[in-house]
Amino acid sequence: MYYIKFDMGGEIGTNATKINEVKDIIISFVKLKRAQRIYLPNNEILQKLHIELVHKFKKFFMEDESISLLITPTDVYYAKSLVYSNPDRSESLAFQLYSNGINGITFYKGVEDKELFDLISILNIDMLDEDNIEDDIVTLMWSREFNFIEYSLRDDYFVQNPHANDIFDFIQRDRKDRQEKSGDKDLEFDPEELEPPPVIPHNEIALTDDEIEKIRSEVDYEDESALQIGMLDVLLELLFHERNQEEISNYINIIEKFVVNAFVEGNLRIFNALIMRYSEHKNGVFSSSDVIVSLYDKIISDLSSEPRIDELVDMLNTTYHQGLNDVLLYLLNLKKDIVPLLLRRLPDLKHVSYRRVFCEAIAQNGYDYVDLIGSKLQNAPEVIIKDIIYILGKVKNPKALEYLSKAMRFPSKELRLEAVSSIGRYRDDNSEKYLVEALLDADLDVRTSALRNIVAHGSFKTVNSLINFIGTDDFNRKSFQEKRRFFLALAKLAGPAIVNYFEDLLLNQKYQSVQIENEIKMCVIAALEMIGDHASLDVLKKAKAKIKSALSEQIENAIRNIQK
Amino acid sequence: MSREDIQKIKKRLNFDKQAIIHIYRICKLLVTHEPDNEIFSKTVHNLLYAISKILEQEGVFSLLFVKSDIYLNKARIQQNITSFSASEYLIKLFISRNIGGFEFYVLPDSRELLLFFYSLIKYSPAEGVDAIKVFEDLLELSGIRNIRVLPTQAVEQVIPDEVQVLRDYKKKTLVIYQSTIRFLKDALSSKDYISGIDMRNAKRLVNQMVDLSGHNVENFSFWGLSAIKNFDEYTFNHSVNVCVLAIAFGNALGLPKRRLAELGLAALFHDIGKLTIPKKILNKPGQLTSEEWDIMKQHPLFAMKLLFNMHGYSESGLKKVIVALQHHMNYDFSGYPRLILEKKLHLFSRIVAIVDTFDAMTTDRVYQKALKPDDALRRIISLASKKYDPVLVKAFVSSIGLYPPGTLVELSDGSIAVVLKSNPQYENIERPIIKIINSPSERLKSDIINLAETQSLQIRKSLDPEEVGINTPHYLFNE
Ligand SMILES: [Fe+2]
Ligand SMILES: [Fe+2]
């Protein structure tokens, strides 16, 4: 908004082509405005209209520096020519602007796509919506700080009372004719402070560099959570001291709305900070106040209710800016019994990352709900089943393993893979049993993952099951790479204890075919190299003396590597 | 200032001020460090970024140092407390080198920039030589070809403010001021104010004030608006004055526009709690009983409840609540309401506490005579650390000046004058720009004089406008 008078814009003698171009721009503008109300942001028609409008502006600005439009209640003028008219007030762009006090709008060369789109978004905001009680088109345009769009306001917008004092008269008037002094009492200061003022030494009012820096830091950085937490402190303290029943319920009402508002406004970070502070207080300074303690529970219960969880899901589906940690912390602040609600709404979450956060929260509170969670393995889309398997891996209830072993029989490889890693999170005999079973899985990735998980467990008990597996037809059919991985896993699990067994395989064992013999021996050599102790070295040296084949080079390399 | 300039300045988004602060940091460091030092890399990078933004928009980056101002591409850069010491240093530096400024059309590289400032720091012109010529040779030798130095210029050469712009500006400030008072009066006089305050309109008015406060207009200061007293009922006039002062002060502190608007809105409603105090008490002619004082002291709490119920819990709503609640708490928490958990008052509350007192002290009331503005400032200074944030008090005095706009003063030659605008340099804190009303010497009558440039004249003392019978706002707003 500028204090400079708005001029009608456009040079005298502006030709008809220009005027038609402006008309065209306004038509596009109005079309885009309507489309934006109907379509989602990524809609093709909408995007096409947007590009079209930007293009028309660009074309106009190839010759001109700006477009200034004059706004009247029904019409829009450019260079004194009518370029838009609509008598229907509910639809008229002119009326919408004019009734908000705007009598002129100027677009400058360089106007950005984003600015145009935002301007139209502002014009499309429903001002009757209760959330917008503090803003209108003009305040929103002001806050948006457009660089290339400017508007001017009617001077008469605020004329309310034509008989009121006039400021221009007032400043002309002589002092003698001035109206009475006001009588309103005030407490701005103590009349005692009005004794004769002292003389101030100059150096007391000069700002030092440090002080300037202090101001600068306060000006540059605004700590929103400090403001909110400070407010909570005040409210709780006032409630704590209040004795009047009516006032108490007033404060309860305010505090509840205040805390819940952080959630309603979608500021989960602030909500978490508030609830943490509240919980500190209710367990600390205000722990003796039943009112304060029970209000806390009331707030948490409210936010753990079904409609609130629904609100949360809607919020997460429409915003992208919530920190994952904030969402998780928020969910963990709620009551534990939200698990069934979260499970039910899980499939409705659009963003994968928020779904993972839900999973995390379900898992952390899910111990007692393992059967409910397990029951979700059926009749759900594959992605959700995958999430459920993930959750089962994290609920820390060994009962989950039964469900996971069932999941190992899903036809989808993805699901079995997820199941293996979930099983891997449990460290007991059952989980190892399932993992060894998974070594027989039809899919290589699943088997590899199972092997990796077995190794990660580092349990010696598994070694026997693995050794038994070697030499079976199933094993022999596997690729060399997989066999090698298997042997390395074995070496890692068993360490020096398995060297004797390896010696046997290398020097004494009989094999079905030369190919299998070579493959297994190569694997053993690699495994021995990995163990790398004296015993392994001895075995390799013995082998070197005994084996004269393609393998001898590999053996020599292994020996050299160990010796290094 | 022309329309194009305003447009230009608006697009700069503070990059102008940032550039000045970075140049200042670089120059100060160059006094003690060689230009090839690692220490410069970050600041130079930031400087180049700011410059590139300006170049992108305006095609040229031309800095001129004239008297107490810096002009970027011929438009004066707005100063605030945090950028002021930087500007002052640079102005002195350039003036002492007899160089008016510098310009370039393409972005220099960091080596060029550093060498340029290094030459400037190390170079001192001999008497009677053509500084520009000598300096140009110096740049040539260092291989700096893209930066051109400019000769010193007089203010007049730089583009004087247009008379019409100034007149429009004054008129607009008065219109907005009046509209705000009327708005408040209408909103708060109606019985159903609890649901009835139209925050949208309040916000529009405050936004316009913020815009107006942001322009540095010749010989006129936005602060002066608060010299209007008793135009309407105290509560309304006072609330709007507190709003004006808070915005002007916040602007001097360098608050960004959006926060200024929040501050202004909070200031406007700081005393809204008084609405719930019975008129009987509020307008009681005699002394209040201690019970009545206790009720009066409830007004911050009333305001808090009122605002919570009225405008919800949004972030900007919360700032209104916090200011209304804290404005009498005092810096040392000796005020009211007394709360033990409060550890630090919000910046806005500390600002409003100062300007609230300033306006109340300088307003005539039935039971109390107004203090002259400079006396009110001295009072406030003497209460710093107890009632007010001492750093903010200093900032307040240095931005409003020891004789605030609207103060009636007597000069050393016996003239009577009104203060129009303060000068930003600290050494001129007692030497504002004034308008002579009455003078023993005919020549000076109705002259506008910048006392910073007229060392022969001083302010002898401030005067009470009522005693002299002068309506000071008249001189602030009329030609
Ligand atoms: Fe107050
Ligand atoms: Fe006040």
Give one DSSP letter per residue of B53-75, joined into a string.
Answer: HHHHHHS-EEEEEETTEEEETTE
Three-state secondary structure call for residue A197: coil
Per-residue model confidence (pLDDT) at position B74: 79
- Give the whole-number percent of chain A exceeding pLDDT 90: 40
**Chain A nearest-CA residue for B467:** A175
Per-residue model confidence (pLDDT) at position A525: 92
- Taking the C-alpha atoms of residue A72 and residue A103, their distance in angstroms, rounded to an integer, is 6
B282, B328, B474 ranked by CB distance to A185: nearest: B282
The C-alpha angle with vertex A150 and arms to A145 and A156, in degrees rounded to 5, equals 110
Per-residue model confidence (pLDDT) at position A333: 93
- Whole-number Å distance, alpha carbon B310 to ligand 2 midpoint, is 20
**Chain B nearest-CA residue for A218:** B347
Is residue B257 over pLDDT 70?
yes
Q: What angle do the packed helices B110-122 and B15-32 form, to 10 degrees?
A: 60
Contact (CB<8Å) A185/B288 = yes
Least trusted range by pLDDT, from A288-292, A318-322, B60-64: A318-322
Is residue A486 over pLDDT 70?
yes
Give me chain A's average pLDDT, please: 85
Least trusted range by pLDDT, from A68-82, A242-256, B177-191: B177-191
Token match 């919360």: residue?
A: B318
Q: Is residue B365 less than 8 Å (CB to CB) from chain A?
A: yes
Q: What is the separation, in whole angstroms, between the first and last Cα of chain B?
A: 18
Q: Where in chain B is the domain with CATH 1.10.3210.10?
A: 161-400
Residues with CB under 5 A from ligand 2 (ion): A 188; B 271, 356
Q: Can you name the residues that pair with B461 across neighbouring β-strands?
A: B410
Q: What angle do the packed helices B299-311 and B315-326 form, to 10 degrees?
A: 170
- Give the whole-number percent of chain A exceeding pLDDT 70: 90
- Select the more confidently predicted residue: B200 or A5: B200
Token match 């404060």: residue?
A: A251
Q: How far is CA B33 from the centre of its chain?
A: 35
Is residue A148 over pLDDT 80?
yes
Per-residue model confidence (pLDDT) at position B334: 92
**Chain B nearest-CA residue for A266:** B314
Is residue A1 over pLDDT 80?
no
Kindly compute the dihedral angle of the four CA atoms of residues A543, A547, A553, A554, in this order, to the nearest 10 degrees.
-50
Return all residues near B213 (Cβ < 8 A) that are at least 6 apart: B222, B247, B248, B251, B260
| Helix runs in A426-564, H state only | 429-438, 444-457, 461-469, 473-476, 480-494, 499-507, 514-531, 534-546, 551-563
Selected residue of B7, B25, B299, B341 to mutate for chain A interface (largest A Cβ count, 10 A): B341
Dump pLDDT digits (tens) for A205-226. 788 888 988 998 888 888 888 8
Looking at residue A477, what DSSP letter applies?
A: T
ipTM attached to this prediction: 0.77
Dump pLDDT digits (tens) for B419-431. 999 987 788 888 9
B85, B341, B393 ranked by CB distance to A212: nearest: B85
Contact (CB<8Å) A160/B182 = yes
Dump pLDDT digits (tens) for A64-80. 888 989 999 889 999 88
Closest CA to A540 of A563, A509, A514, A510: A563
Model-level pTM? 0.78
Q: How far is CA B231 from the centre of its chain?
A: 23
Contact (CB<8Å) B381/A204 = yes
- Taking the C-alpha atoms of residue B446 and residue B218, their distance in angstroms, rounded to an integer, is 16
Structure tokens, B93: 């530096």
Closest CA to B251 of B221, B219, B213, B218: B213
Q: Is residue B333 less than 8 Å (CB to CB) from chain A?
A: no
Q: Is residue A320 less than 8 Å (CB to CB) from chain B?
A: no
Q: What is the separation, in whole angstroms, between the first and last Cα of chain A?
A: 78
- Select the more confidently predicted residue: A321 or A522: A522
- Taking CA atoms, A394 is separated from A399, A425, A446, B172, in Å, by 12, 7, 19, 66
Least trusted range by pLDDT, from A18-32, A407-421, B79-93, B260-274: B79-93
State the CB neighbour count (10 A cutoff) for residue A192.
Answer: 6
Contact (CB<8Å) B312/A222 = no
Q: Is residue A8 less than 8 Å (CB to CB) from chain B?
A: no
Dump pLDDT digits (tens) for A326-342. 999 999 999 999 999 99
Highest mean pLDDT among A38-47, A149-158, A262-271: A262-271
- Whole-number Å distance, alpha carbon B304 to ligand 1 midpoint, is 12
Per-residue model confidence (pLDDT) at position A7: 47
Q: Is residue A2 less than 8 Å (CB to CB) from chain B?
A: yes
Q: Please, is B150 exposed, middle or buried when counting C-beta atoms within 10 Å of its C-beta (0-12, 13-18, 19+)?
A: middle
Per-residue model confidence (pLDDT) at position A189: 56
Q: Which of residues 248-287 of A touch B (CB under 8 A)?
A: 250, 254, 257-258, 261, 265, 285
Token match 């989980």: residue?
A: A431
- Whole-number Å distance, alpha carbon B345 to ligand 2 midpoint, is 17
Per-residue model confidence (pLDDT) at position A6: 43
- Give the whole-number percent of chain B exceeding pLDDT 70: 92
Closest CA to A104 of A76, A124, A138: A76
pLDDT band at residue A160 using 50, 70 and 90 as cut-offs:
low
Contact (CB<8Å) A174/B469 = yes
Return all residues near A133 (Cβ < 8 A) that are at least 6 apart: B199, B200, B311, B312
Structure tokens, A111: 């106007």
Q: Can you name the residues that pair with A69 across neighbouring β-strands?
A: A78, A105
**Chain A nearest-CA residue for B256:** A219
Measure B297 CA to nearest chain A CA, in Å.
8
Contact (CB<8Å) A155/B175 = yes
Give me chain B's average pLDDT, please: 85
Dump pLDDT digits (tens) for A528-537. 998 888 999 9
Helix (H) or strand (E) holding A84: strand A81-85
- Whole-number Å distance, alpha carbon B237 to ligand 2 midpoint, is 10
| Cβ neighbours of A179 in B, within 8 Å | 230
Q: Is residue A161 less than 8 Å (CB to CB) from chain B?
A: yes
Structure tokens, A238: 């006032």
| Cβ neighbours of A231 in B, within 8 Å | 318, 321-322
- Taking the C-alpha atoms of residue A90 and residue A253, their distance in angstroms, rounded to an integer, is 39
| Cβ neighbours of A168 in B, within 8 Å | 174
pLDDT band at residue B245 using 50, 70 and 90 as cut-offs:
very high
Give chain A's count of helices (H) and strands (E).
28, 5
- Whole-number Å distance, alpha carbon B235 to ligand 2 midpoint, is 8
Contact (CB<8Å) B186/A257 = no
Q: Is residue B228 less than 8 Å (CB to CB) from chain A?
A: yes
Three-state secondary structure call for residue B126: coil
Stretch B381-408: mean pLDDT:
93
Taking the CA of B300 as reference, the closest ligand is: 1
CATH class of B161-400: mainly alpha
Q: How far is CA B234 from the centre of its chain?
A: 24
Q: A472-481 in b/e burial notation, b at 16+ Cβ within 10 A?
A: eeebbebeee
Highest mean pLDDT among A184-193, B135-144, B329-338: B329-338
Dump pLDDT digits (tens) for A392-421. 999 989 999 999 999 999 999 999 999 999
Least trusted range by pLDDT, from A69-78, B88-97, B233-242, B392-401: B88-97
Amino acid letter at B103?
E
Q: How far is CA A39 from the centre of its chain?
A: 24
Largest CA distance in chain A: 125
- Taking the C-alpha atoms of residue A238 and residue B301, their distance in angstroms, rounded to an integer, is 10
A153, A160, A183 ranked by CB distance to B366: nearest: A183
Q: B343-361 in b/e burial notation, b at 16+ Cβ within 10 A?
A: eebbbbbbbbbbbbbbbbb
Q: Is residue B413 less than 8 Å (CB to CB) from chain A?
A: no
